[in-house]
Amino acid sequence: MTSWIAPLAPQPVRATVDLPGSKSITNRALILAALANGPSTVTGALRSRDTDLMIDALRTLGAVVESPDDDGTTVRVTPGPGRGGDVDCGLAGTVMRFVPPVAALATGRSRFDGDEHARSRPQQTILDALRALGVPVNGDRLPFVVDGTGRVRGGTVRLDASGSSQFVSGLLLSAARFDEGLVVEHVGPPVPSMPHIDMTVEMLRESGIEVETPEDSGVPNRWRVHPGAVAPVDRVVEPDLSNATPFLAAAAVTGGEVTVPRWPARTTQPGDAFRDILTSMGAEVLLTAESLTARGPEKLEGVDVDLHDIGELTPTVAAMAALAGSPSRLRGIAHLRGHETDRLAALTAELGALGCGVEETDDGLIIEPAPLHGGPWRAYADHRMATAGAVIGLVVPSVEVDDIDSTAKTLPGFADLWSAMLAGGGAR
């Protein structure tokens, strides 16, 4: 772990920040490429700890993954005969939940493990689903074992995906390769982060796979993937909009202006919803064909917002709320207790330690802004907790993030990008 004193912004931040590709799109693209019936190329892929773990996992299971360019952002994937092996999930939810169905389609034993924090993350839902489809699985959390036989029967599974949308996406991504395809029926409280399932469905259709959603069938909480070949697709990955949020928040909390180039006009990324949150808190947002620009107000306003579908934005929103001029309520995010860390408890502890009034509710946080002081900020090995500390540190002197290296999970070089933003001009 590298301790890092978050740099104070001596004046309103004014910069252009060009960000690498989306982790969510990159890892879905890699899975589909490994399952396809021919080679695929992913251009603009994110190279981070999470995506490198996905590449390593797919290589372990038999795919050939090559990067012809120097920075590795162009990735060529050639499917291979599936085999078992040892899969390191790190702390990546997409690896621990998307790869087991791929391992079920391979031949041989695959052993999954990861970081210590990953062993407490919810996993049983997707493993029980695989067991219901006839796949031998030993274990309910990391570490666990999948014994692949080269095929999966498919059919219908009923599950409670209220803990994570990744349980649904993980099954859908491999389902076309199942003998009977797959019907996934969710039974339980609403599924969080629905835009991520929309992303999965859109990418499946781009790969020539027939998918029926609840909107298509009129049956709530039901997804059907028809069996068939997965077509190879050459994809260009959008910038990661969730990784953009701390940089846009920098404009919001300092009364500055930050521009993110290549912001898509249409996207399934949850980070796009940050535009509305910025506006609700008093910032000005301008979207053009080339970029998105956020301009901060003199003082941010508190917000009452349901973040159920965009929970990954919560640490950034909480940091802004702590610096606003009125209270905020963040709702619909009980599922964040099962993320990289218990993000509700972590935000309550760290904001409270700096002097902010914070109350943890059943499904979120109530934040009462107060004069903040510097001090330690624990990241809990969670990249979004680390970047939230950086946002606070722009206006509160001597905020020391204990593990800035955790940002490498989705955004390697974050500290350098942050410093370049504060220096003005372009950050890349």
- 302 secondary structure, DSSP code: P
Angle CA 45–381–74, to nearest 5: 10
Query: 139 among the known binding-site residues?
Result: no
Element (H, E) at 17: strand 14-17
Query: 123 among the known binding-site residues?
Result: no
Q: Give the DSSP per-residue string, 254-267.
A: HT-EEEEET--SS-
Element (H, E) at 33: helix 23-35
Instruction: State how far the Cα of 281 lies from the Cα of 346, in Å rounded to an integer.
Output: 23
Instruction: State how far the Cα of 43 lies from the Cα of 232, in Å rounded to an integer.
Output: 14
Query: 235 among the known binding-site residues?
Result: no
N-terminal to C-terminal alpha carbon distance within the chain = 24
Query: 224 among the known binding-site residues?
Result: no
Query: 409 among the known binding-site residues?
Result: yes
Query: Which member of 238, 257, 312, 340 is catalytic?
Result: 312
- 310 secondary structure, DSSP code: G
Evaluate whether 17 touches 236 at the Cβ level (below 8 Å).
Answer: no
Query: 242 among the known binding-site residues?
Result: no
Phi, psi angles (nearest 5°) of residue 230: -95, 115
Evaluate whether 223 touches 201 at the Cβ level (below 8 Å).
Answer: yes
Query: 312 among the known binding-site residues?
Result: yes
The amino acid present at 114, given as its one-letter code, is: G
Q: In Å, how far are 254, 256, 268, 320 from 283, measured between CA atoms?
A: 11, 10, 23, 11
The amino acid present at 23, given as its one-letter code, is: K
Query: 165 among the known binding-site residues?
Result: yes
Query: 266 among the known binding-site residues?
Result: no
Name the residue among 254, 245, 268, 259 with its Cα closest to residue 292: 259
Phi, psi angles (nearest 5°) of residue 229: -75, 145
Q: Which two structure tokens, joined as six digits, stand for 184?
A: 């996934």
Phi, psi angles (nearest 5°) of residue 422: -70, -25
Instruction: State how far the Cα of 311 lies from the Cα of 177, in Å rounded to an integer.
Output: 31
Query: 428 among the known binding-site residues?
Result: no
Q: Which residues of 151-174 are buried (b: 16+ CB within 10 A; e: fewer)?
A: bbebeebebebbbbbbbbbbbbbb
Query: 335 among the known binding-site residues?
Result: no
Query: 24 among the known binding-site residues?
Result: yes
Residues whose CB falls within 8 Å of the CB of residue 70, separated by 6 or more in sequence, listed in order? none
Evaluate whether 367 touches 322 at the Cβ level (below 8 Å).
Answer: yes
Q: Is 340 a catalytic residue?
A: no
Query: 67 among the known binding-site residues?
Result: no
Query: 343 among the known binding-site residues?
Result: yes
Tell me the binding residues: 23-24, 28, 93, 121, 164-166, 193, 312, 339, 343, 384, 409
Tell me the binding residues for phosphoenolpyruvate: 23, 93, 121, 166, 343, 384, 409
Tell me the binding residues for 3-phosphoshikimate: 23-24, 28, 164-166, 193, 312, 339
User: Catalytic residues, which ones?
Assistant: 312
